[in-house]
Amino acid sequence: MSILIKTAEEITKMRVAGKLAADVLEMIAPHVIIGVTTNELNHICHDYIVNIQHTIPAPLNYKGFPKSICTSVNQQVCHGIPNDKKLKNGDIINIDITIIKDGYHGDTSKMFCLGTVTPFAKRLVNVTREALFLGIEQIKPGNHYGDIGYVIQKHAHKHRYSVVQEFCGHGVGKDFHEPPHVMHYGKAHTGDEFKPGMIFTIEPMINMGKRYTKVLGDKWTAITKDRSLSAQWEHTMLVTETGYEILTLRAEEL
């Protein structure tokens, strides 16, 4: 299946959806504190998405997923299901938001650090964010999707971390997941070329230990097999005539 090129009208709608997804992460930030449960965070986000933004939480009932956001704590790599366990001092958590506005998806995630986080956990979080932006910087017409994975993997390995290979970024638009698969490892100058109008996510998952993961009995939550810490950041990207535009950029990142 070919990679979709969005029309000007679709790009306008994707800008709106991306901004709304980013707004949810900005809204929830003050609530991510020691003692809160991820279920409480889910309820706050759901209420904001549905009743304030008048948008749709894309994860809810997607292939049976039971909640409106994903919350992945410590050794959880991705797709963590919110529950009643309280967040504690030293936890790191990824909150993944996807909303639907006028039929188009905005998809983004961010890491949060609770209280006094160990230096090695904070370093993992920071290096993973650096890897995301190194990947973003590869985006311009004529470069290749493989360039993203190459620089992310190189940066992770430089810091003696591993890159999860079972999960990847993806095209996004009318559908939650569209072509292509955006790998966070690989060779430079390989894969399809970037062309203006392509929209996709970059969402590297970087482990402190080995790269291997397993999915828990809930059939969603992926964790590191060796129970090492994992971190992830995500943005939705548009390829422009001269480079890129981050559709889910938050005010704090300007």
CATH classification of the domain holding 124: 3.90.230.10
Residue 52 placed within a domain = yes
Task: Identify the pLDDT of residue 165.
Answer: 98
Task: Look at residue 128 and tell me if it is in a domain.
Answer: yes
Residue 91 lies in a domain: yes
In this structure, is residue 38 part of a structural domain?
yes
Residue 117's pLDDT is 98
Q: How does pLDDT run along the chain (254 residues), one tens digit per residue?
A: 799 999 999 999 999 999 999 999 999 999 999 999 999 999 999 999 999 999 999 999 999 999 999 999 999 999 999 999 999 999 999 999 999 999 999 999 999 999 999 999 999 999 999 999 999 999 999 999 999 999 999 999 999 999 999 999 999 999 999 999 999 999 999 999 999 999 999 999 999 999 999 999 999 999 999 999 999 999 999 999 999 999 999 999 98
Query: What pLDDT does residue 254 have?
Result: 87
* pLDDT for res 163: 98
What b-and-e string marks burial along 193-205, b requiring 16 or more CB atoms within 10 Å of the CB?
Answer: ebeebbbbbbbbb
Asked whether residue 93 is assigned to any structural domain, the reply reads yes
Could you give the CA distance from residue 133 to residue 94 in angstroms, rounded to a whole number?
A: 17
pTM of the predicted structure, to 2 decimals: 0.97
Domain count, the chain: 1
Give residue 199's domain range: 8-246
Residue 30 resides in a domain: yes
Residue 137 lies inside a defined structural domain of this protein: yes
Burial of 208 (0-12, 13-18, 19+ CB in 10 A): buried
Q: What's the pLDDT at 34?
A: 98
Does 1 reside within a domain?
Answer: no
Three-state SS at 72: strand
